[in-house]
Amino acid sequence: MVFTYILPTVGPVMTLWGRFVPSDLPPWAKYIAYLSMSYALAILVTAFIVKRGLILGGTGRSAYFPGALEQPTAYVEERDILDIFGISMRELPIDPAFPG
């Protein structure tokens, strides 16, 4: 949704913004920008973690927290699934870094 609808509209919105709002932004505007960027990054990270949990066979809590998987062969199963599609590049398994 972010890449399809939000990012393509940033340019036209900023052009209209520049016509109706003075070029000097108030000091609080940078905090709104930081908050917006942090929120977008959090959405992307969350989507990555949930996708990883689902591909490893997680359900319930382990779907959104892959570190809760109690299957020692989950990464072997992931490799087998990706090999079917010919994907040789692996993602960095960040879920062991967040122990449950």
Q: Is the pLDDT of residue 95 over 60?
A: no
Average pLDDT, the chain: 77
Q: How confident is the model at residue 15 (pLDDT cuts 50, 70, 90)?
A: confident
Instruction: Record the pTM.
Output: 0.47
- With b for 16 or more beta-carbon neighbours within 10 A and e for fewer, the 3-29 pattern comes to eeeeeeeeeeeeeeeeeeeeeeeeeee
DSSP for the chain, written as a single string: -IIIIIHHHHHHHHHHHHHHS-SSPPTTHHHHHHHHHHHHHHHHHHHHHHHHHHHTT--THHHH-GGG---TTHHHHHHHHHHHTT--------GGGS--
Q: Is the pLDDT of residue 12 over 50?
A: yes
Please choose, from the candidates 4, 64, 10, the residue with its C-alpha nearest in 3D space to the C-alpha of residue 36. Answer: 10
State the pLDDT at residue 39.
92
Q: Which two tokens stand for residue 7?
A: 């990012």
Q: How confident is the model at residue 80 (pLDDT cuts 50, 70, 90)?
A: confident
Write out pLDDT tens, residues 19-53: 777 667 778 888 888 899 999 999 988 888 888 77
User: What is the C-alpha to C-alpha distance for residues 55 and 85, in angstroms, rounded to an integer?
Assistant: 13
State the pLDDT at residue 100.
47
